[in-house]
Amino acid sequence: MTTITRIDQGPRMSEAVIHGETIYLAGQIGAPGESVTAQTRAALAEIEELLAKTGSDKDHLLSAQIWLADIADFAEMNAVWDAWIAGHPAPTRATGESKLAAPEYRVEIIIVAAKA
C-alpha cells in the first residue's frame, strides 16, 4: 500500500499531498491587489518552499496549471515564469483564464512534481 502524506493540512485542504513519489501542490497565489508580476513571483516562491518541504525542487516538476484572472496578463506572467524556470527542465504546462477566489487575485499556479 502506498503511503499518503499531507503537508500543512487544514480543515479545508492541504498545501501539498505526497502519494508515492508524486507531489501535488495546492494552488499558490500572491498577495491580493499586487501586480501580476508580484503575484507570480510570490506564488513561485511559495512553490519553491513547498517543494523543499516535500523533498523536491524545480528540476523535478512534472506539470503546471496556471490560472489568470485576465488572459491579457499572459505575457507579464510568462516573463516571471520564464526567468524562474530558466536552466531547469520545463514541465508540461497549461494556462487559462478563470475567475479566481476574489477579484484581487490575478494569478494562481498549481504544480505536480516528482520527489527528488
Q: Domain range spanning residue 14?
A: 4-114
> What is the C-alpha radius of gyration for the chain, rounded to an integer number of angstroms?
14
CA atoms in the 13 A half-sphere facing the CB of 96: 7
**Domains in the chain, number:** 1
Rounded to the nearest integer, the mean pLDDT of the chain is 97
Run of H or E including 65: strand 61-68
CA-wise closest residue to 33 among 67, 69, 78: 69
What are the tens digits of pLDDT across the range 43-83? 999 999 999 999 999 999 999 999 999 999 999 999 999 99
Residue type present at position 41: R
CATH code for the domain in which residue 65 is found: 3.30.1330.40
